[in-house]
Amino acid sequence: MNLYVNGDSHSCGHDAGGPEFAYGRHVANVLAFDYVCEAQPGCSNDSIIKRTLKYLEKNTPDFLIIGWSTWERETWYYHDKEFNITASGHDAVPHELKDRYKQWVIEQSQPEQQFSKESEAHHKIWQFHNRIKHIPHLFFNCYSHFFYTVTHNKEKYDWGLNYINPYDQNLTYYYWLENSGYKPSNPKFYHYGADAHLAWADFILPNIQRLLTTNE
């Protein structure tokens, strides 16, 4: 039996010691599952979906966990290379893309663009959820919740037990841990240490166990 995990730096245990110290490893230990983690720092949600679907072409995990990244991130391709693009303002893009990147960062601060990106992610994740319904899975948001969906009274999807409430900021990975008294390993960044990963694993395990029981 095996557990598959994907996501960004939070799911790969950045600043916690790596994947072997991340929440996924703790979940796998409790379930006595083998553990596969394909999370990548700074990645977009499109790249998470792409990597996961590629893995699923040849593998069928017994359980799948994805911690979704922030909505603005994109994957750019240039000269057959892939670049993870975030709004941090200091991404390592080729010189030829620097002007494009600077303009892109400016655009990400506009509410209309934020709403558009969030709406797109909301729909894509819903489509992906329905595509992999045959595999027991759990989603959660690492930092961003569906803010505009809530404030603009847009349609909310019925995720059942498969998504830790994506419409509540306090149930994102980052804010749940902050509200539980944990602090980032480095105050300049948003990553937590191994103790926080263990706490998050304990928090999501009841959902996982219910989903596994439901799919038996």
pLDDT of the residue at 192? 97
182 DSSP 8-state letter: -
Specify whether the CB–CB gap between 13 and 19 falls below 8 A: yes
Beta-bridge partner residues of 103: none
Dist. CA 61–CA 82, nearest whole Å: 26
pLDDT above 60 (res 216): no
Which of these, 80, 78, 86, lies nearest to 40 by C-alpha position?
86
pLDDT of the residue at 153? 84
pLDDT of the residue at 89? 62
Residues of the chain with pLDDT > 90: what percent? 82
60 DSSP 8-state letter: -
pLDDT, tens only, 76-94: 999 888 888 988 765 678 8
Helix/strand/coil percentages in the chain, nearest 5: 45, 15, 40
**Which residue type sits at 79?**
H
Average confidence score pLDDT of the chain = 94
Q: Residue 215: pLDDT band by 50, 70, 90 thresholds?
A: low
CATH of span 2-214: 3.40.50.1110
pLDDT, tens only, 135-156: 999 999 999 999 999 998 888 9
Q: How wide is the angle at C-alpha 12 spanned by C-alphas 11 and 17, nearest 5°?
A: 125
pLDDT above 90 (res 179): yes
Tokens of 60: 């069928």
Tokens of 179: 């509200």
Does an H or E element contain 3, and which? strand 2-7
pTM: 0.94
174 vs 98, residue with greater confidence: 174
Does an H or E element contain 137, and which? strand 137-141
pLDDT above 60 (res 120): yes
- H-helix segments, 132-193: 147-151, 173-179
pLDDT, tens only, 9-29: 999 999 999 999 999 999 999
